[in-house]
Structure 1
């Protein structure tokens, strides 16, 4: 008889619950694609705000965009509720990141995709441009590479054009203007990161969400957890991180808005015991953005906040 661990039992129960929710919610939806009302705004649902905010800009006044997951919500662990499935069933188009980020919702998307457009925008990225960990798992945090994110958003824009072909030129013009802002942000970020002494360009965070950010801006990234927040943090992970901090005399480490900060505090205390004073550099936004209505609640503002926070904390000796 197979004996399941506690984690395996939890995931099995979540899978069974998710499947039952899918069958009950989708069974009443009927067959065929949803008909669009030309007199109403296009109802777009996304999983994460990193998709919702750019699409709201590109879609303009032709779309109504909402995100399932708000500030502080971890998409790696998120399970769809009955209410979520009903909300998704009412959408005209659904965009999610894919690449394993919303792992607990894939069956939901597969089922709903039988009746309406559902796109994993990360799937358009060439496999050769994606990062992988030592075990071969794909890094899903592609919104931290501004070039890759443009590719993903371009695919989403094409879906908007298919849904509202009369507004295709409008969507394209908005996309071009928005991408110009992304390119300017990339230049701004590169200029600031370039001012940090090379031997201090080490970004230590709670989990490995900043790999694409580091690759784009030439920064070494150390995450205590793996690519998913389901990964456990061991004592050896903390000890290895402290060794890196000591070797490079890194002045600061960072917490994330959607991740428990205890592991980072353990690193700070461990470094102190080794004679190295490491500061808490501030809070970064990784898997979730800031509150709606704030600068950090926009994709551009969230990215700029991270750049400025990292720059201010690691710039010691830069001037």
Structure 2
């Protein structure tokens, strides 16, 4: 039985966020469905009115997004923890990951938006044991009292999930996040939060690359298995443009090494591969993952500096229990 009463505590300096589990289909039961934003997960800690912004793996990115931090400060919360997703919006008002990367690289982040979806602490009260509905109602009230263009509520939708997912995919959104009614906030991956994706897309560790006349031909990808070993996951050579092709190649050059980090380097059927230390993560889209664990028709999306390589593993969707 989950605890349903909030407790009075000192606001913690850090704690891991709750993560959603990939699902094969919508579950039965009462869930609240939100858009799966195409951006960076961002947690905001407010202590004595001062805001610190943290990535999913706990990196302090406040200096990268000073205007967002100032917008959170303008809410006047004093002591709180907020959970959300930082996005850039295109001309149609839809999240655009490419635009987010561009804004960060050019240090033009004043128009980024933090969509907040949970309130874990407020003043000296730990709200994590409280029901989702209670936390959301409290969050909506706080934001309605202090409106700001850069900090907005992530709305949930009261529609049949199948039609909602179809609409999200038709709009070229990433998918949906469903949160079980009555659930507490639990750090780590949980089936209380489920995600439904429109396309196959996830993070991979870069373990090498091939060269071409332009300098970079493709990147060689891997993921960690249950035993903590890096296993080859295929390569990606499409999805690059002139700018990211150059920036990725530049990031890879300093970490070139003579030996492969893969447990099975012989699985790489590529001539003249250049190995790198497994310190960079990229996101890729793909058609499917084969039985051998290789992606098919992969497309490069972006480098992901907000994610630790050791967190990267193949995402296997679950069939929700009814």
Q: TM-score band (shorter)?
A: under 0.3
- Give TM-score scaled by structure 1 length: 0.25
**Which structure has the higher relative contact order (CA within 8 Å, separation 6+)?**
2
Per the normalisation by structure 2, the TM-score is: 0.24
Q: Higher strand share goes to which structure?
A: 2
